[in-house]
């Protein structure tokens, strides 16, 4: 390394891309999430993640919120109960269908759901500026800097980004159990440094979730864990099955509780745009 190098010599965009290329997990596409949507919605409906995030978001009743990568409405629905309107974007129509069903059950009528991705032209989709723009665990696009700039451009007041802290959301122990190398890929530290190079000075708050995940049964746990990998051989599936059993206990009502060695942690990254 050049002994004269300073922070300004670091190319964070290239480092982010390099880490993304070397990660040991495969990004999922819209069709994958369409299939995952029902189970994902069910497991996230009562997650403590929601309250931990909501108490850290500045909200006013007359404000509007843009939720980019809204999924099944994990944040969009409780936000809609606190603000004037929510625009929920997601590239998975299956996720938006779950969101609409949940909103109907809750009697929430002020959410506009749009099937769109980071790469789409939001202006052509008649999306205007909102008071708050949120991207919760959804910065999976091919260009992080572009996505951050997009959120900043569409916000009148605040931007809130919830980004992963490695190894979340993955269970690193599961990779070791089947003798697969785990490379986390870029997490929040890249995001805050890219923001800095963009002239955006953010605030970071760390939240930690319980290391326990509850599943209806072993099959549901296996389906969730297999989601972490691109493909598994029958021998690897057997090892994964054994790992889950070694980390789990059965509740009185027959559910399976799996305990990770490292609890999932997330970084809430925020900044003012006004």
pLDDT at 270: 98
pLDDT at 153: 98
pLDDT in tens, 240-263: 999 999 999 999 999 999 999 999
pLDDT at 256: 96
Q: Alpha-carbon distance 44 to 64, whole Å?
A: 23
* CATH homologous superfamily of 7-211+264-272: Vaccinia Virus protein VP39 (3.40.50.150)
pLDDT at 1: 57
pLDDT at 43: 73
pLDDT at 23: 87
Give a three-class secondary structure readout of the chain. Answer: CCCCCCHHHCCHHHHHHHHHHHCCCCCCCHHHHHHHHHHHHHHHCCCHHHHHHHCCCCCCCCCEEEEECCCCCCCHHHHHCCCCEEEEEECCHHHHHHHHHHHHHHCCCCEEEEECCCCCCCCCCCCCCEEEEEEECCCCCCCHHHHHHHHHHCEEEEEEEEEEECCCCCCHHHHHHCCCCCCCCCCHHHHHHHHHHCCCCCEEEEEECCCEEEECCHHHHHHHHHCCCCCCCHHHHHHHHHHHHHCEEECCCCCEEEECCCCCEEEEEEEECC
Q: What angle do CA 216, 43, 86 make, to 5 degrees?
A: 160
Residue 220 near residue 214, CB atoms below 8 Å: no
pLDDT at 29: 87
pLDDT at 264: 94
Query: For the chain, what are the domain ranges?
Result: 7-211+264-272
pLDDT at 5: 87
User: Averaged in consecutive runs of 10 residues, what is the pLDDT profile of the chain (274 residues)?
Assistant: 84 94 83 85 80 95 98 97 98 96 96 96 97 95 94 98 94 95 93 97 96 93 90 95 97 96 96 92
């Amino acid at each position: 390394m050049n002994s004269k190098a300073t922070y300004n010599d670091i190319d964070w965009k290239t480092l982010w891309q390099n880490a993304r290329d070397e990660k040991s997990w495969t990004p999922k596409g819209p069709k994958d999430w369409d299939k995952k949507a029902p189970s994902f919605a069910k497991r996230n409906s009562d997650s403590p993640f929601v309250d931990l995030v909501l108490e850290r978001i500045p909200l006013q009743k007359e404000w509007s919120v843009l939720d980019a990568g809204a999924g099944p409405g994990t944040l969009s629905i409780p936000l809609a109960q606190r603000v004037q309107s929510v625009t929920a974007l997601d590239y998975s129509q299956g996720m938006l269908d779950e969101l609409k069903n949940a909103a109907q059950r809750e009697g929430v009528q002020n959410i506009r759901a749009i099937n769109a991705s980071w790469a789409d032209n939001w202006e052509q989709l008649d999306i205007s500026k909102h008071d708050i723009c949120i991207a919760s665990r959804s910065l999976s696009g091919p260009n992080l800097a572009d996505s951050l700039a997009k959120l900043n451009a569409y916000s009148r007041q605040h931007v809130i980004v919830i980004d992963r802290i490695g190894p979340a959301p993955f269970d690193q122990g599961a990779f070791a159990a089947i003798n697969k190398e785990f490379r986390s890929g870029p997490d929040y530290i890249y995001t805050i440094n890219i923001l800095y190079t963009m002239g955006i000075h953010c605030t970071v708050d760390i939240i930690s979730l319980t290391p326990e995940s509850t599943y209806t049964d072993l099959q549901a746990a296996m389906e969730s864990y297999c989601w972490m990998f691109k493909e598994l051989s029958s021998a690897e599936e057997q090892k994964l099955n054994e790992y889950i059993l070694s980390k789990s206990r059965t509740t009185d009502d027959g559910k399976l509780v799996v305990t990770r060695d490292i609890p999932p942690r997330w970084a809430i990254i925020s900044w003012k745009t006004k």
